[in-house]
Amino acid sequence: MSMPDTSNSMAGDGEPLANARLINYADAIREGLATAMENDPSVFLMGEGIADPASFFGTTKGLLDQFGAARAVEMPIAENGMVGVAIGAALSGQRPVISLHRVEFALLAIEQIVNNAAKSHYVSNGRHKVPLVIRMIVGRGWGQGPEHSQSLESIFGHFPGLKVMMPTMPMDAKGMLIAAIEDDSPVISIEHRWLHYSEGHVPEGHYVTALDGPAVLRPGGDVTIVGTSYMNLEALRAAEVLAEVGCEVELIDLRMVRPLNMAPILESVGRTGRLLTVDSSWAAFGTGAEVCAQVAEHAFSALKAPPRRMALANHPTPSSRGMVPGFYPDSISIAQAVGELCGLSASDVGAVVSKLVEMNGDQPIDTPNAYFKGPF
């Protein structure tokens, strides 16, 4: 199974990206945090677990020793208070980065995020800025039940004044995080916990990846898939096997939930005439729903088939392994959906599914397959 060809992609210094180091997503985030803190003394971290040996999935490892307790602040379980302190610090000219172990914990501080962080610039006629980054973890894994594994990005994407990013690739994880820290707006950064395990080519030193929206992970002319976060890796695997039966998928990594830049998606759908969105959250009122709505609004005449959404099954996230099958979209269900959208023959779809079943093997359903380590 081949990985995305990065040989023609360029790093920030003009060097081919394929020449950059190969590191994992968690280390890319840690480097981004360290780089931003080295460059600007107003940047500091707060979070539960910064001093813990697990170091927030490894993303804050060593930062306490490198920058001291005044700039890498271990916090008690008090999310509402922590967010309030961070908003006040940002309004006072600091650039705090908060780490929340699960997206659900942000719900304890939703009023401050929505009414104070998101609106201060607007209600002060631009006099106040809130340069704040709130990192949140989403996604599944062993023992992650209905209150610890949800993907709630569409909640935060709803509010003007917030930027919401969901980097998939390690290079973006570092570059977009630095860009978010240097941005004067509050930015919600959502990381899928299984992505921390993936590897990719990441340039050293300071670089920024603009918070400007979608990127094409794989070009194709038969169907457009718009994926978010970890679901891009499942879609990528499906796309590579579908190509063996002559179906070329154009895979677009959304990267930014808000602001939502639809231009690359509309251009792609204008060529393929078919759209599939693959969410890490639920379909109703979700990110994919918004993408489908805007495509129907602005590119209806280009569509050869109704847009289709794939997302979590419409019930709370299960804890039990026995209840997980069928709940999450995967490479197999994505390939089947593409087959229906593109009118592939039953024999072609069967061949693709058989290949994917063989490739997936006996991997436990609550751990990431080795394929998804990358490099990406």
Tell the burial category of 300 from Cβ atoms under 10 Å away from its Cβ (0-12, 13-18, 19+).
exposed
pTM: 0.94
CB under 8 Å to 82, separation ≥6 — which residues?
46, 47, 75, 98, 109
Residues forming the active site: 79, 148
In the chain, which stretches have pLDDT less than 50?
1-3, 5-8
Q: What is the pLDDT of residue 260?
A: 98
Q: Which two tokens stand for residue 143?
A: 């023992």
Quote the CA–CA distance of 118 and 331 in Å, as a whole number.
36
pLDDT, the chain, mean = 92
Q: What is the pLDDT of residue 106?
A: 94
Q: What is the pLDDT of residue 10?
A: 54
Question: CB count, 10 Å around CB of 209?
Answer: 22
